Structure 1
Amino acid sequence: MAGAASAAASSSESTLKVLVINAWHGGTQVPGGVGMIADIIKESGATLVFIAEASETTPDIVAKLNASGLNFQHRRTGDNAIISAYPIGEATALPYMTKAVVTVGSVEIAAYAAHLQYQWYATYLPRAYGPGAPSGEYSGYGWNKIPTGPVTDVAAVARVNAASGRPQVIERFIVDAGKERQRGRLVILGGDFNEPSTLDWTRRTAQLFDHNGVVLRWASTQALEDAGFVDAYRRQHPSPVTHPGFTWPASNHNAAVESLTWAPEADERDRIDYVFHHPDARLKLKDAQVVGPRESIVRNQRVAESGKDPFLLADVPWPTDHKAVLASYTVRG
């Protein structure tokens, strides 16, 4: 009996709510945006936050949270920040990422916040828009409409995507994460990838959302899947048709439509903000939601989403051109 009691005492279960949000230049693009980000973190119940497009405003966000009675810490390198209600170690800069060790109970988590290259945005090619490539294929179009129409050559789209360097960044992450797992740590990755999911551009969606027949194994998310990582939102909501989970572009009523769209004559909606985890008996995914407005921008118009995606905080003042993602876990250890 004493042994059983001791075992029970040594094991605990904690709630971990992981929020990923692109802060749109640190919340500076909308009046009051810094306070809005703090409110979103507080109201969502997030305990671990990955911020892309973080800036010098990150300490202000944390100060606002803590002034409301919470106890958050933060680390930032480059334009990625990690904010945590749990103890957080020193941050390490990786290419396009910030890494820190977060301790939940007795469990250490290697947490990675990512904001990948935004240029060579290959998902625009099937929508008949330039990928914003500063060099190489289709670079002559910039971000402008391609007069000859959609690029549906899968190999060409994949080449432009590879030229971004995003898949190489993810491959380096996978190697680093493997070392962390060997140390006994859980691994969670979250951020703005500026690249769609291989689970979303499927035969079922080939004629939807201006994919124009393109079915593509997007290299970054495919590499994560091949390495055993779990896309939290798509694990909870497997259908990209009924639950597309779009995070870009969000219809922010605090901003003009023309500041929210980069492909105004297309349906440019994509899910490009993610939470990934590597399976571990100590980590259990409980839920995943889109956080933010129900409306998206489609062909230069604000359009309410008609799918079955679960939305959280859909009616709160919004500070950014992305929607956020919240993945809820239990951590046992």
Structure 2
Amino acid sequence: MRNTGRALAVAVTAFALAAPATAAPAAPAADTLTVMSFNTWHGGAQVSDGINKIAQQITSAGADVVSLQEYSTDSTKKIAAKLGWYYTDTGTHVDIVSRLPFEGEDWTSTGNGVVAVKIKGIWIYSAHLSYTQYGPYNACFDNDSYETIYADEATRRKQAQEILSWAGSSPAIIAGDLNSPSHLDWTADTKSVHCNSVVAWPATKVFADAGYWDSYREVNPNEAATPGNTWSPVVKQNAGRPEPQDRIDFILYRGGSLDATSSRTWGGGSGWPSDHLAVVSRFTL
């Protein structure tokens, strides 16, 4: 977890970095950073007044920087305008908004497309892995063998490995919707709520094996008592079957003096603008 240096050997696709809509608010304490991962359900387009609701939730969560997934048209620009924050404008399904200015920025098409910004000396990544061949459906609906489950996870495993290769060894926070449960959650202690299965989900294990800590599970180590499900506060049925409820949104970190001091799911209830819960983690630097 204490690695230094940054290696970028992968070709990068350029993107436009827009200036903040208004002057950014004063920076928080220099030794802390609060990060939010927020799948915006097609940029707030699935609910009424979605942009305002997303901006309000970001403010209420006390986030300093937000990894956004599921872009729609100019949704990131509109969210940033409501907040008066800095933002990336990749034109893809991943972006970042921040109350703090960017010290650097980068984007790559590897890992299904990932955007990165440097804030307070830390590279922060927004990721959104492939949603096809969703693993819990293999386990819960199709009763597939473990061999089949792991084979169908090959794309997400590859995308995770690509992100790791691109990120290098510098201190980093990788936040996003991985469209995969965690190997820390589908354990012998939770088989009864996970279709009687114990699965070492490859995408999260790739990051763990590379030294990344899962901030939520680090702070909330009992997977049975605090499952932290983020999918889904909205989707509870699937063709007459119970929709598997899982933790598929993550804030992972590695390196330097970074340490997660708190982590929680965020959202739900009336007026919540997403079909995912968000995750909010606070770090000391």
1:151 is displaced (CA, Å) by 1.1
Q: 1:271 — aligned with what?
A: 247
Contact kept? 1:76, 1:91, Cα under 8 Å = no
Q: 1:285 — aligned with what?
A: 260
What SS does the corresponding residue of 1:91 show, helix, strand or coil? strand
Alignment partner of 1:320 out of 267, 274, 277: 274
1:113 is displaced (CA, Å) by 0.3
Q: 1:74 — aligned with what?
A: 87
1:206 is displaced (CA, Å) by 1.1
Q: 2:80 — aligned with what?
A: 62
2:223 paired with 1:240? yes
Letter in 2 for 1:113: S
Partners of 2:239 and 2:168 lie apart in 1 by: 38
1:23 is displaced (CA, Å) by 0.3
Q: 1:226 — aligned with what?
A: 209
Contact kept? 1:152, 1:212, Cα under 8 Å = no
Partners of 2:109 and 2:254 lie apart in 1 by: 19
How does the TM-score come out when normalised to structure 1? 0.72
2:82 paired with 1:92? no
Percent identical pairs in the alignment equals: 34
Instruction: Encode CA deviations 1:99-127: one digit per residue, 9 max, x unaligned.
Output: 323231xxx22111011111111211221
What SS does the corresponding residue of 2:143 show, helix, strand or coil? coil
1:263 is displaced (CA, Å) by 5.4
Structure exhibiting the larger radius of gyration computed from Cα positions: 1
Contact kept? 1:126, 1:152, Cα under 8 Å = yes
Letter in 2 for 1:81: D
What SS does the corresponding residue of 1:113 show, helix, strand or coil? strand
Q: 1:204 — aligned with what?
A: 189
Q: In the TM superposition, what are the counterparts of 1:145-224 in structure 2 within 5 Å?
A: 150-162=142-154, 165-179=155-169, 181=170, 186-208=171-193, 211-224=194-207
What SS does the corresponding residue of 1:290 show, helix, strand or coil? strand
Letter in 1 for 2:213: V
What SS does the corresponding residue of 1:90 show, helix, strand or coil? strand
Contact kept? 1:82, 1:113, Cα under 8 Å = yes
How does the TM-score come out when normalised to structure 2? 0.84
Contact kept? 2:183, 2:200, Cα under 8 Å = yes
Letter in 1 for 2:71: A
Stretches of structure 1 that go unaligned for 5 or more consecutive residues are 1-11, 67-71, 129-149, 252-256, 294-314
Partners of 2:58 and 2:46 lie apart in 1 by: 18
Letter in 2 for 1:59: K
Q: 1:123 — aligned with what?
A: 136
* Larger RCO, structures 1/2 (Cα 8 Å, 6+ apart): 2
Relative to structure 1, the CA distance from residue 54 to residue 91 in structure 2 (aligned partners, 3 Å threshold; closer, same or farther) is farther
Contact kept? 1:109, 1:187, Cα under 8 Å = yes
1:48 is displaced (CA, Å) by 0.8
Contact kept? 1:154, 1:215, Cα under 8 Å = no
Contact kept? 2:77, 2:89, Cα under 8 Å = no
Contact kept? 1:198, 1:222, Cα under 8 Å = yes
Letter in 2 for 1:330: T
Q: Name segments (4+ residues, structure 1) moved above 3 Å.
A: 260-264
Partners of 1:151 and 1:271 lie apart in 2 by: 20
